[in-house]
Amino acid sequence: MKKTLFALLALLPCMLSAQVAENEAALVYHLPKTVLALEIDYTKTIETPGRFCQYAERYLGTTDAITTPTEYYELTAIRITAKTEADETRSYTLPIAQKQMNGNRLFINEKGILESINTQPAACSKCHKDEVRQHHCATSPSVIPLLEEQMLANSAGKMAEGAARLIYRLRENRLNLLAGDVEHLPQDGESMKAVLREMQQRETQLTELFTGHKDTQTASCTILYVPTADATEEVVMRFSRYQGPVPADDLSGEPLLLTLTAHKKSYKPQEEKQQKPVDAYIYYNLPGSADVSISYDERTMASRWLPIAQFGIAMPLPAELFNGKQKTTVEFNTRTGAIKSIGQ
């Protein structure tokens, strides 16, 4: 919930925080800090052997049957996005005892970041929301899809032989249906599709009794990283084929390597300006930027350029802008701390 703050004085010149006496009323705001959100997409596959896996080659002629229960993970994609937090190292104090800045309004968001002065801040059109997406594929039925004749067989081999015969019978019936070599054809195209779909599903269930079943699940996780300086192949997380995402110090996984090239802002005022300090009211941010990339298994999985608030420098807005009869309006970018617009 946004708070409207009424500021009644100016900041002390060129100070990060004005001196405030004990028990003196004051307002505090922060410049923003950029946090990188590394979104990791991966899949988890569970392989389950079929009940008749040892008969797969004999009755179906395949050697690709699953014979051992297995669980493994695969990393599929990485996305680099940015979140915004308040920078506790760059906070500014506005004492409320002065009368110089009477009538000016400051809008600060719920994180303590300055949004605007003397104007209602624009509504957020796109807010970032962390989420973990997860999808489970349908699993095989727990009931064996056999008829009474096969279920009453006195051995696993006989049951497997009966199941194979059902598979071949389904295939033959499907071919006859497609060729029109049956006494009663479905009445229309939709009915034909429904019959063929049911026959295919039935054959798949029976075939999985020999070849086994794969259950694939997709999910994602997010790693937060606060940029402070250049980084060269820094391990931010590891990914294990048999455990999925693991901490950076867990050597069972392959490392995800972050490379960051910082472009920090610098500002050198002219000598004559240095002799006349600015009577500052509000500080805003002149943001820097960075080139960020993530590599895994010797492949670059993601790379992008991003503005980085903490790589910037704090710049003062002169108090003269706000002590006139006509109030100056300023709107700030809460992600970077830069000025979006300024006017009367």
Q: What is the pLDDT of residues 221-245, one digit of tens each?
A: 999 999 999 999 999 999 999 999 9
Residue 128's pLDDT band (boundaries 50, 70, 90)? very low
Q: What is the mean pLDDT of residues 256-260?
A: 97
Least reliable range by pLDDT among 70-74, 172-176, 329-333: 172-176
Residue 3's pLDDT band (boundaries 50, 70, 90)? very low
* Tally of CB atoms within 10 A around 124: 10
Percent of the chain clearing pLDDT 70 (strictly above): 76
Where do the domains of the chain lie? 42-75+136-216
What's the alpha-carbon Rg for the chain, to the nearest Å? 33
Residue that is written with structure tokens 């096969």 in the block: 150
